């Protein structure tokens, strides 16, 4: 699953269709209610232009119940190629193999049908559709509800 991108000396996860290029690792800071995470660029296999970004968040807290342990975005001109689906599959392997995670929560807005189809195609269980608390940062961005999907790795 891992190879080295010798040109940039970055960790790469690949399924031979897409590459996830690690661009940043965020460590947990003492006294804060955050969790460590790893951020990746999504690229078509062997190409240098990013088609999106994704991240894996290790751990769980109340904030992540609404935000999810995997986040992703595919840039508008690259949508429709299942890049988010492929990226999540690679992140599932990483979560299990490197971080020993047995399950994950991924969320989406109920009206975001492409994202919801992606989460359904990944084989997750829709646990609930919940209201986002008004004090949660996602609410400040206009996210008032979330579909909570659970995945057993």
Handedness of CA 91, 92, 95, 98 (dihedral sign): negative
Evaluate whether 125 touches 149 at the Cβ level (below 8 Å). Answer: yes
Question: What ranges do the domains of the chain cover?
Answer: 12-152
Q: Match 């992703």 to its residue by tokens.
A: 72
Grade residue 27 by pLDDT with cuts at 50, 70 and 90. Answer: confident
Q: How confident is the model at residue 30 (pLDDT cuts 50, 70, 90)?
A: low
Q: Which CATH class is domain 12-152?
A: alpha beta
Beta strands in 2-144 (DSSP E): 2-5, 10-14, 18-26, 37-44, 50-57, 70-74, 103-108, 125-131
Is the pLDDT confidence value at 41 over 70? yes
pTM score: 0.90
pLDDT at 45 over 80: yes
């Amino acid at each position: 699953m891992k190879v080295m991108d010798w040109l940039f000396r970055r960790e790469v996860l690949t399924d031979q269709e897409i590459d996830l290029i690690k661009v940043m690792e965020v460590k947990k800071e003492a006294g804060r209610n955050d969790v460590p995470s790893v951020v990746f660029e999504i690229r078509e296999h062997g190409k240098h232009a990013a088609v999106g970004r994704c991240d894996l968040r290790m751990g769980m807290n109340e904030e992540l119940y609404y935000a999810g342990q995997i986040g992703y975005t595919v840039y508008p001109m690259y949508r429709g190629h299942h890049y988010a689906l492929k990226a999540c599959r690679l992140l599932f392997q990483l979560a299990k193999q490197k971080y020993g995670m047995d399950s994950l929560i991924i969320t989406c807005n109920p009206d975001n049908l492409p994202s919801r189809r992606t989460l359904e195609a990944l084989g997750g269980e829709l646990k609930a559709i919940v209201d986002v608390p008004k004090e949660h940062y996602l609410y400040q961005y206009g996210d008032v509800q979330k579909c909570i999907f659970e995945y057993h790795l």
